[in-house]
Structure 1
């Protein structure tokens, strides 16, 4: 399957809304995302415009999408920049510059095509290009019951760190990849 990987721009908000709502209807959405379809489906356009503008800003957050040749969005990943001293969603203070991948979703028809790997490559390339203090680690969290996502993250080079957190839906594992390890796996 062919696709184009690119960062979102503010004008993409209707497509970003459609893909996020599709993601929140996926069977694993209750353990994969920290919000529900019901929480965001009725949000006004301004909510989606602001959310997409934030994801497009490119210094503290960046969202990447994978689109088919027809322009249909097939997948996404968002990268959050966590500078030293940043307190994350779970209340942990990060010791060094790193990035945090969230909102990972690939439509069922695009799974197993290499799209997830291409999205991760874009996210990590962007992460490693950030100015000083340049992140040396990218991480994400995955629910203990989300074995499909765990396999996808491992295939992309992420490994469990041994850290866990309690999310509203249960225990999540932290997975990470270092800049050095990402370079080793690069072609």
Structure 2
């Protein structure tokens, strides 16, 4: 693989914005993300700057964003891991039963799919999650739309298994109706 997998730095907010906007233009976006391209495009630069600082794992934040950087400096993929402590309310409005990680914003550019970048990005996020001492994380989870069988298969190939939990996706203009299925991987 000719890509470098690394954490996003706070000063890379413009590139983080660009890859997020690209992900929201992907045909799978309505079953993969909880926001539309138009919603993201309306955000001011300060939003993207704060988001980059907040997702730089070197800054002891509650999230870490990792990217796959090609030799020419372009970003071919990204994943973000959110830290959920026991008792916290997650971004979906549910209370976390345990300290865990939550993978979100997973995207690999179409021309790079099937090259191993997804696995490398998820591995980087998991390595970071398992290295945390506070809070100690026993598992990492993610949600995948029932209408996205390719993503479900890819995550299962990486070791994620269904937890039996799901949530209905209703009333959001940015998400296709249906159910999100929860998958998780336990700490080795």
TM-score, with length taken from structure 1 = 0.92
C-alpha separation between the residues in 2 aligned to 1:92 and 1:21?
27
Hey, what does 2:100 align to over in structure 1? Answer: 98
Q: Please list every run of at least 4 consecutive aligned residues from structure 1 whose deviation after the TM superposition is greater than 3 angstroms.
A: none
* Matching of residue 173 in structure 1 with residue 175 in structure 2: no
C-alpha separation between the residues in 2 aligned to 1:7 and 1:23?
18
Displacement of 1:131: 0.9
Which stretches in structure 2 are left out of the alignment for 5+ residues? none
Could you tell me whether the CA contact under 8 Å between 1:106 and 1:116 is conserved in 2? Answer: yes
Could you tell me whether the CA contact under 8 Å between 2:54 and 2:61 is conserved in 1? Answer: no
C-alpha separation between the residues in 1 aligned to 2:78 and 2:99?
23
Hey, what does 1:41 align to over in structure 2? Answer: 41
* Matching of residue 19 in structure 1 with residue 19 in structure 2: yes
Q: Which stretch shifts more, 122-131 or 81-90? A: 81-90
Q: How many residues align?
A: 180
C-alpha separation between the residues in 2 aligned to 1:19 and 1:27?
15
Hey, what does 1:183 align to over in structure 2? Answer: none
Hey, what does 2:157 align to over in structure 1? Answer: 155
Which stretches in structure 1 are left out of the alignment for 5+ residues? 181-187
TM-score, with length taken from structure 2 = 0.92
Q: What SS is found at the alignment partner of 1:76?
A: strand
